[in-house]
Amino acid sequence: MTRRPVLRIAPKQWADAWDGLKAISPLMVGSAIFGVAFGALVRDVGIDPWAGFFGTATVVAGASQIAIVEAIRAGAPAIVAILTAVLINARFALYSAALAPAWAGFPLRWRLALAYLMTDQAAVVAMKEADDPDPVRRRWFAMGAALPFVLVWFAGTAIGLILGPVIPDKWQVGFIVPLMFIAVLVPGLRKPAELVTIAVAAAVVLLGRTWPFALNVFFGIVAGMIAGASFEAWQEQRRAAPRPEQEEPA
C-alpha cells in the first residue's frame, strides 16, 4: 500500500497534526460548550448575532468576548469595553514570548496563522512539544491542536447564536472554565517549582480580587512565573553548591 499526500499534505505531517489533535481532544467538548454559552449570551443581551459571530471569528478569546458583551450590556463606553478585552488578553504576550524560541524557525505565514489561533489551551499543548528537535513536527503538532480547537469554538458559538439561551442558568456551565484548565494543568504536574508558581499566582489572584480589568489574573500569572523561576534557580544553585562537610580537609 502506497501512502499518498492528502490535500497535498504528506502522511508524516498528517500524523504530527493528529498527535496535536489527540493532545487537545479532551478539551474540545469544553470549547464547544463555552462557545454555545457565549452565543447564547450574545442573544440574551440583544446584540446582532452576526456581530457576535464576527467577535468570535476575530477576537478568538472567550473570556474577553464575554467581558465585551457584559460591558455592552452595562452601557460602558466603547473604549472601556475594548481596553478590558485587551487587558484580559495581555497573558497571550507571555505565551507568545514563551513560544518564540520554539517557533522562530517557522515560516512567517505559519507564525501569523498560529498566532491567530492561539488560545490558552493550544499554547500550553504546543509548549509540551516545544523541545522536539524537528521544527516541521513542532508546527504541524501546534496546528493540529490549535485549528480544530478554534473551529469547535466557532461551531459552538454558531449553535448558541441560533438556539439562544437553551442551557438553563442553574446548570452553571461556567464551571467548564476551571474544569478545562484543571484537566490541562494537573495531570502534568511533577516539579516543586510548578507548585510554587501555582501557589503564588493563586495568592495574587485572590489578594487582587477587587482590581479592575481582570488585572489580578495578569499580575497573578507574572508573579507566579517569577516565583517559580526563582525557586527553580535556587534549587539548582543548592544542588550545584558543594556540601559544607566536603569542603573541610579530611
Partner 1 sequence: MTVWLIFLFAALGTYLIRISGVVLLRDPEKIPAPIRRALRMVGPAAMGAIIVNALFLDHGEWRAFGAWHLAAVVAIGVALWRRSQGWSMLAGAVAFAALIASGL
Nearer Cβ to partner 1 (103/153) = 103
Span from 100-108, 133-141, 159-167, 238-246 in contact with partner 1 (CB under 8 A)? 100-108
CB pairs under 8 A, 24+ apart, for 163-172?
163/36, 163/39, 163/40, 164/40, 164/43, 164/44, 165/40, 165/41, 165/43, 165/44, 166/36, 166/40, 167/36, 167/37, 167/40
The reply on whether position 166 binds partner 1 by CB under 8 A is no
Could you say which of 9, 86, 162, 166 contacts partner 1 (CB under 8 A)?
Answer: 86
Could you say which of 13, 31, 89, 157 contacts partner 1 (CB under 8 A)?
Answer: 89
The reply on whether position 31 binds partner 1 by CB under 8 A is no
In the block, residue with C-alpha cell 525557586: 231
Binding residues for partner 1, total number by CB under 8 A: 92
- Inter-CA distances, 215 with 205, 222, 250, Å: 8, 11, 57
Three-point CA angle 130, 6, 114, nearest 5°? 30
Could you say which of 5, 11, 18, 54 contacts partner 1 (CB under 8 A)?
Answer: 54
Q: Which residues contact 73 (CB under 8 A, 6 or more apart)?
A: 45
In the complex, minimum distance from the CB of residue 163 to partner 1, in angstroms, rounded to a whole number:
20
Q: Pattern of binders to partner 1 over 101-140, x per CB under 8 A? A: x-xx---x--xx-xxx-x-x--xx--x-------------
Query: Taking a C-beta distance cutoff of 8 angstroms, is the pair 48, 72 a contact?
Result: no
The reply on whether position 92 binds partner 1 by CB under 8 A is yes
Q: Pattern of binders to partner 1 over 210-239, x per CB under 8 A? A: x---x-xx--xxx-xxx-xx--xx------
